[in-house]
Amino acid sequence: MGEIKQQVIKVGIADLKVVNAPDTIRTAGLGSCVGLVLYDQVSKRAGLLHIMLPNSILSRSDTVNVAKFADTGVKALIEQMGVSTTRLKAKMAGGAQMFQFSSQKDMMRIGPRNVGAIKDQLKLHRIPLLGEDVGGNSGRTIEFDTATSLLHIRTVNAGETIL
Amino acid sequence: MSFDQEITLYHLDVLKEVGNIGAGHAATALSTLLGKTIDMKVPLVKIVSFDDMMEMAGGSENIVVSIFLRIEGEISGSMFFILPLPQAESFIRTMTQDESFSFDTPPYSEIGLSAMQEMGNILSGTYLSSLSDFTQLNLYPTVPALSVDMVGAIISYGLVELSQVSDQAIVIDTALFGEGHEGEGVTGQFFLLPDPDSFHVLFKSLGVE
């Protein structure tokens, strides 16, 4: 019988995963994308979703990758958590405006739109948002610790934040 | 356009030629700017997942200097010129003759960043004008934006349009390197990411259906 080793589970872009304590879960290089963590402090279980777009109606593809969009992604993450939504809490980071352009097409404001879409979904499912580090113009790498329920956020230009 | 079904190896070869011509001219411009010989590698044209795309640029968390612009006009897309920090530092020192410039601690010197921005303007402008000449298409690039950040955060921005249609990107990747430095890492990398709707226009302009 070996010791229980703590693993860091990585979530890619437009992807979602769920882990149990003592593992941590992380996603790297969030720009306009948003990383949403849902966690249950009782079962020490947490899921991380890395979305790119606010709404699946933007999809012009035949097959939908649910983890790419805020609406379908939040729903899928709740299902994968497998616990009552009344036990879930949320923290999130990302949604930056990485570049400023004078001719702002709507698509270029995607960061703030992603943040708004996630908040709408959380309200819809009545999940409290207990911490957020969103907006600005820095990329973020985030890691959630299931044992402490803390979200560690690292940026290149603004150091580390813990929520 | 679904990439895997409609794009053939022949199409990929045509795109390779686009990278060849664009980056070839950019390499010449960079060489003139720095007074050094700059060579380029054979372009890579790949159909990749978004995560693979980040790996091609050194991994999501890799911190780079990037110049990003959107292409508008008859075709649209995103273009990145990406430099490792030590390379960007060395270029900025050469251009500004300020040996103290460093990316170790922000805020960075305004003059240094401005020189970097100008270099990005010249290189991406050269790449795109040769692409425009080659295809006879009217292209209107936005003013390039400079960023020093994680490559995942930067490139995902250029994938926004694409991500509505596909979970894959066609990327034209061309690397530049200084004379005799091929084994020692890349000097700079161009990524051209045409938007999905632009491929048929691009191929048609080159006489490929």
Ordered by where they begin, the domains of chain A are 8-162 (3.30.1330.200)
Q: How confident is the model at residue A44 (pLDDT cuts 50, 70, 90)?
A: very high
B55 close contact with A: CB closer than 8 A = no
Measuring CA to CA, which residue among B171, B198, B186, B208 is closest to residue B45?
B171
User: What would the mean pLDDT of B162-166 be, rounded to a whole number?
Assistant: 87
Mutate to test the interface with B, among A98, A101, A155 (most CBs of B within 10 A): A98
Using DSSP, state whether A85 is helix, strand or coil.
helix
* Whole-number Å distance between alpha carbons of B135 and B201: 10
Chain A hits for B70, Cβ within 8 Å: 101, 108
How far apart are alpha carbons A64 and B139 in whole angstroms? Answer: 31
Domains of chain B: 3-205 (3.40.1550.10)
CA distance A150 to B30: 46
Contacts of B142 in chain A (CB under 8 A): 101-103
Q: Specify whether A33 is catalytic.
A: yes
What average pLDDT does range A22-49 have in this prediction?
96
Q: Using CB atoms, which residue from B51, B145, B150 is nearest to A141? A: B150
Count other Cβ atoms within 10 Å, centred on residue B195. 20
Q: How much is the pLDDT for A113?
A: 94
pLDDT of residue B183 exceeding 60: no
Contact flag A52-B147 (C-beta cutoff 8 Å): no
- Which of B3, B50, B80, B113 to mutate to probe the A interface, most A CBs <10 Å? B50
- B27-66 pLDDT, tens per residue? 898 888 888 888 888 888 988 999 999 998 889 999 999 9
Least confident of A96-105, B54-63, B129-138: A96-105
Please compute the mean of the pLDDT values over residues B192-200 and round it to a whole number: 88
Residue of B50, B63, B160 with shortest CB distance to A32: B160
Under the banding of pLDDT at 50, 70 and 90, the label for residue A140 is very high
Q: A106-118, pLDDT tens digit by residue?
A: 566 899 999 999 9
- Mean pLDDT score, A84-89: 95
Report the half-sphere exposure of B27 (CA within 13 A, side-chain side). 24
The answer to whether B153 faces chain A, any CB pair under 8 Å, is yes
Query: By three-state DSSP, how is residue A115 classified?
Result: helix
User: Are B164 and A58 in contact (CB < 8 Å)?
Assistant: yes
In contact, A135 and A113? CB cutoff 8 Å: no
